[in-house]
Amino acid sequence: MAEILARGIDRYLESLLPARGEVLAAMEREAKRRDIPVVGPQVGRLLASLAAATGARRVFELGSAIGYSTLWICLGAHPKAKIHYTDRSEAFAEEARVYIDRAGFADRVKFHVTPDAVDALSVVPGQFDLVFNDIDKEGYPRAFRAAVARLRPGGVYVADNCLWSGRVTDGRARDEATLALREHNRLAMADERLVGSILPIRDGVFVGTRIL
């Protein structure tokens, strides 16, 4: 991953992070060992903070892998929250179930093992307080359109990897993922229903609140 922040700033931010609990620390070690992409603790704490700030009771996560981001959301969400986990891998889902049960949040998470997280969102009724988008990057524009339509007023849409190791700034990069991320970012920043910004932490995180 190319540097988004100056290396000294990134190291400083990392140095401020308090120790994670046993389960999160185990997930971080396993993700590093097996090269499983997870959002990392800086973004994890942001997700927990947003869940707490919105008093989130209904959360939909588009792309969850081993449940690292899911667990951070559980830590910030309302005690009676329902967090919808999605992933195409049954193996990842089973792993996530174990971690989330160890952390004491098994009753808060609904698991959807599905080849298409956006399709899963379409069949779960109601509005959401928080939607987190971390699916395959080629699907980001479609996921954005589906997610924002399901947010309550005051709800928050979050998307990871929006700076894509800086490739979104490289006019020579024409691969499908980069083109999709550029389109996603354009849509997210231009949508009058949202007020939001791309935060340059980790790989770039869009955070937008629905105002219309």
What are the structure tokens assigned to 47, written together?
């997700």
pLDDT tens by residue, 105-156: 999 999 999 999 999 999 999 999 999 999 999 999 999 999 999 999 999 9
Task: Give start and end residues of each alpha helix (H) in 17-66.
Answer: 22-34, 40-53
pLDDT above 90: percentage of residues in the chain:
97
pLDDT tens by residue, 156-175: 999 999 999 999 999 999 99
Whether residue 1 has pLDDT greater than 60? no
Residue 77's pLDDT band, with cuts at 50, 70 and 90, is very high
The CATH H-level superfamily of 7-210 is Vaccinia Virus protein VP39 (3.40.50.150)
Whether residue 211 has pLDDT greater than 60? yes
Checking phi first, is residue 132 left (phi over 0); if not, alpha (psi -120 to 50) or beta?
beta
Q: Contact at 8 Å (CB) between 67 and 85?
A: yes
Domain ranges of the chain: 7-210
Q: Measured on CA atoms in the order 97, 99, 100, 104, is the torsion positive or negative? A: positive
Residue 3's pLDDT band, with cuts at 50, 70 and 90, is confident
Mean pLDDT, residues 83-96: 98
